[in-house]
Structure 1
Amino acid sequence: MADRIPEKPYLRIGEVARLLGTQTHVLRYWEDCFPQLKPVRAASGQRLFRKPDLETLLLIQSLLHEEGYTIAGARKRLEELEQSQPTKQAPPELGQLKDELKDILRLLD
């Protein structure tokens, strides 16, 4: 799966649904159920998923469909995994944020 992830900074919900082989309403439901999912919102309200969001979605899908977790169990497992992770990365530099904002603008045009 990781080799099929496009090298784009943001993916729209339809693209993510196709990559995961699921429906867009499932992704919106998972967004409500898992606080770890926080896609960026464009000014139009459209969800824009980044690579870390996609990795989280892949983990959620694996927990639910392959390992047989319930939604509550998968949420708890994700929280455990977050707590066991070393400190999070430093925030992106200003230049990187500027580039990401430009990419969002290109997507919206």
Structure 2
Amino acid sequence: MSTIAEHPQIKKLFYKIGEVSAMTQVPTYVLRFWESEFKFLKPGKGRGRRRTYVEQDIETVRTIKRLLYDEGYTLEGVRRQWGKTSRAEREASANARLPGEVLEHVKAQLNEALKIIASYDGES
């Protein structure tokens, strides 16, 4: 049986903290700490109050990691650097995908998943 992990072209809408940790090479306890330090990193909470990250959250984690570890910023430096980003840029980033675009993206992912499933149905 095929899994999503075997097909990296299929992206999920939500990721658990452990998955984000593996993807970004940032330990889960560090992710939790960053959430308390940076108000701009706020993953959602799913059932059972578990953190649910979306692609934008993962990009935020990667940016924080780059600023801290690669560029040598302090926590306060990251906050200042993030604050320099203009409000218009943040809004444009947050609204980069309109609802219709998101729907089209989800449809494309589902169609790709159906093709993969159909290819396995034919092998039986």
Is this a same-fold pair by TM over 0.5? yes
Q: Deviations over 1:7-61 (max 9, x none)?
A: 1100100000011112100000001111111111013010000000001110000
Match of 2:21 in 1: 17
Q: Is the 8 A contact 1:5 1:19 kept in 2?
A: no
Distance 1:47 1:92, change over 3 A: farther
Query: Computing the radius of gyration over CA atoms, which structure comes out larger, 1 or 2?
Result: 2
1:52 correspondence with 2:56? yes
> In the TM superposition, what whole-angstrom CA distance separates every residue of 1:45-91 from its partner, at most 9, and x where no partner exists?
10000000001110000000000000010011011124361643289
Structure showing the higher helix proportion among its residues: 2
Task: Confirm or deny that 1:67 pairs with 2:62.
Answer: no
User: Aligned residue for 2:87?
Assistant: 83
Q: Runs of 5+ in structure 2 lacking a partner? A: 1-7, 107-124
Say if 1:86 and 1:22 are closer, same or farther in 2 by CA, change over 3 A: closer
How many residue pairs match? The answer is: 94
TM-score by length of 1: 0.73
Task: List alignment gaps of at least 5 residues for structure 1.
Answer: 100-109
Q: Could you say what the CA RMSD is over the residues aligned between the two structures, in angstroms?
A: 2.7
Runs of 4+ more than 2 Å apart: 90-96
Corresponding residue for residue 7 of structure 1: 11
